Structure 1
Amino acid sequence: MSLRIVVTVKYVPDATGDRHFADDLTLDREDVDGLLSELDEYAVEQALQIAEAADDAEVTVLTVGPEDAKDALRKALSMGADKAVHVEDDDLHGTDALGTSLVLAKAVEETGYDLVISGMASTDGTMGVVPALLAERLGVPQVTLLSQVSVEGGVVRGRRDGDSASEELEASLPAVVSVTDQSGEARYPSFKGIMAAKKKPVKSLDLDDLGIDADEVGLAGAWTAVDSATERPARTAGTIVKDEGEGGKQLAEFLAGQKFI
């Protein structure tokens, strides 16, 4: 039986762009370019390596987001994933991590899976809790923050590196894992892969397809919210110290005044 691998990916704003909040204190995505979260590229890479080592495997990439989120799916497909699932619904606007985990869980169940692979966190929210929430909703084991991962004989195994020690972990499939940016450099899409991605299937789902009520997600259903936000202050010219014999003293006084020393 084919090993069914689902990789959850996120379409995030480009960190080099000018990001700001909209009037409802959600991230304004209209004026900034988006892309596949860099940390999710490691998850796609590990999924492809596991699939290549298996006798028979299929890799599906899954995202929840607006129309433009298809760009993230196409990037993953061009890397080598077989197909994609896109959950898009206007009522998802403002959904937090808890709501996102609900949508992902329903979509994963709809797709069918043996192993779900996620990045360690998204590069915009950086909460890192969705893999654990997803595993809880699916009722399967979670093995998170892996720097190495492999699958053999219906068991997923991996290594989690800490500051002072490493752990060897394993869980029976089905399971959810997350991988870190130390798990291996993600491959670049080849020209052949980019062209092939245009012909790979992308399935679209909405909340009705997943049996989710609108009040369970979006801003209304969010358990977390931004209460206030202020614009980042403009950069100042700074302080220039001219060294005329007293430069060291002036620098020390400046650092002490800023409580750096």
Structure 2
Amino acid sequence: MKVLVAVKRVVDYNVKVRAKADGSDVDLNNVKMAINPFCEIAVEEAVRLKEAGVATEVVAVSVGPKACQEQLRTALALGADRAIQVEVDGVVEPLVVAKLLKGVVEKEAPQLVILGKQSIDGDNNQTGQMLGALTNMAQGTFASEVKVDGDSVTVTREIDGGLQTVKLALPAIVTTDLRLNEPRYASLPNIMKAKKKPLDVLTADDLGVAVTTHVTQVKVEPPAERQAGIKVEDVATLVDKLKNEAKVIA
């Protein structure tokens, strides 16, 4: 069984993101970049499936500029067998990413596609669902447990009311939640081996996709700073302020 895993290059989650002085974008100068944490979980799950003898090949794919090859090499060091970069400059919307991934799916014909449920930069939570719609493949989103059994995969989903278990016929798409697994660290020997693993580069034209933009970024600004709280003398004063100043109770 071939497993395709999508990974995205984002600002490292330990870095405090700052907006540019003119508010045009996020300041990325000298900022550490990394694999999106949810994508890292997706890579780990695919590698575990291979280690369990369920998957025979793990292919990592990323959409972005040449710099995203760094994250693909990391995925290879974590256990992926080969990688594909779909070279696109600039910010790409989830719908376009889904269309590009659809092209890769058609070329590679994987039995299982695993994506992070969302990226920590855009937080859109759209690509997996859009890819499912475009490919007409069954999808199990927000997965906290994945079990492949023959021609089907059982996915335990995290939903507002608790947990929901769905059984999907392969080929299928799964998006990962935080509690699915704990990603491993890439060892130095595996990092060295990753440099020799194949990494192919495709373009949007190769996949027959037009890269278009439907959303214009108007401004980027940091969230408003939270005002300091105050101490009150008694419950009566607290209720009065909640009612008359904060107006959160009637």
TM-score scaled to structure 1, two decimals?
Answer: 0.81
Corresponding position of 2:62: 63
Selected match of 1:259 from 226, 246, 250: 246
Alignment of 1:21-40 (within 5 A): 25=24, 27=26, 29-40=28-39
1:109 is aligned to: 106
Letter in 2 for 1:222: T
Counterpart selection for 1:188 from 185, 208, 213: 185
Residue of structure 2 in register with 1:81 after alignment: 80
Distance in 1 between residues matched to 2:129 and 2:229, nearest whole Å: 49
- Kept in 2, the 8 Å contact 1:117–1:179? The answer is yes
Tell me if structure 1 keeps the 8 A contact 2:61–2:84.
yes
SS of 2:51 mapped into structure 1: helix
| 1:176 and 2:167 correspond | no
Q: 1:208 is paired with a residue of what secondary structure?
A: coil
Count of residue correspondences = 244
Structure 1 residues 28, 107: closer, same or farther in 2, change over 3 A? farther
1:112 Cα deviation (Å)?
Answer: 2.8
Q: Which runs of 5+ in 1 are unaligned?
A: 242-246
Please state whether the residue corresponding to 1:32 is helix, strand or coil.
Answer: coil
- Residue 230 of structure 1: CA displacement? 3.7
Alignment of 1:155-174 (within 5 A): 155-174=152-171
Instruction: Give RMSD over aligned pairs.
Output: 2.9
54 and 154 in structure 1: CA distance in 2 versus 1, 3 angstrom threshold: farther
Residue number in structure 2 paired with 1:200: 197
Query: SS of the counterpart of 1:209?
Result: coil
Q: Structure 1 residue 239: deviation in Å?
A: 6.2
- Read off the aligned partner of 1:223 and give its amino acid letter: H
Q: Is the 8 A contact 1:98 1:223 kept in 2?
A: no
Give the equivalent residue in structure 1 for 2:213.
222
Post-superposition offset of 1:156: 1.1
Amino acid at match of 1:110: K
Worse-matched range after superposition: 160-169 or 127-136 = 160-169
Preserved CA contact (<8 Å) 1:78 1:197:
yes
Other-structure match for 1:244: none
Q: Pick closer, same or farther for the CA change 1:240–1:165 going to 2, 3 Å.
A: closer
**Equivalent-residue separation in structure 2 for 1:226 and 1:240 (angstroms):** 34
Amino acid at match of 2:52: A
Q: Partner of 2:174: helix, strand, or coil?
A: strand
Structure-2 change in CA distance of 1:9 and 1:260 (3 Å): farther
- The one-letter amino acid of 2:177's match is T
- What is the alpha-carbon distance in structure 2 between the residues aligned to residue 33 and residue 62 of structure 1? 21
Return the offset for 1:78.
Answer: 0.8
Cα offset, 1:259, TM superposition:
2.8
Amino acid at match of 2:136: G
Change (3 A) 1:150 1:102: same
Cα distance change of structure 1 residues 239 and 35 upon mapping to structure 2, 3 Å threshold: closer
Quote the Cα distance in structure 2 between the aligned partners of 1:55 and 1:201: 22
d(CA) in 2 for partners of 1:72, 1:108: 20
Partner of 2:178, secondary structure, is: coil
Change (3 A) 1:22 1:170: farther
Query: Aligned-pair distance for 1:77?
Result: 0.9
* Residues 19 and 32 in structure 1, CA contact (< 8 A), matched pair in contact too: no
Partner residue, 1:8: 6
> 1:131 is matched with which residue: 114, 128, 131?
128
- Residue 51 of structure 2 aligns with an amino acid whose one-letter code is E
Contact kept? 1:10, 1:37, Cα under 8 Å: yes
Task: Name the % identity.
Answer: 31
Measured at CA, do residues 53 and 226 of structure 1 come closer, stay the same or move farther in structure 2, by a change above 3 Å? Answer: same
- Taking structure 1 as reference, are residues 114 and 163 closer, same or farther at Cα in structure 2, changes over 3 Å only? same
Q: Give the direction of change, closer, same or farther, for the CA distance of 1:19–1:55 in structure 2 (3 Å limit).
A: same
Partner SS, residue 147 of structure 1: strand
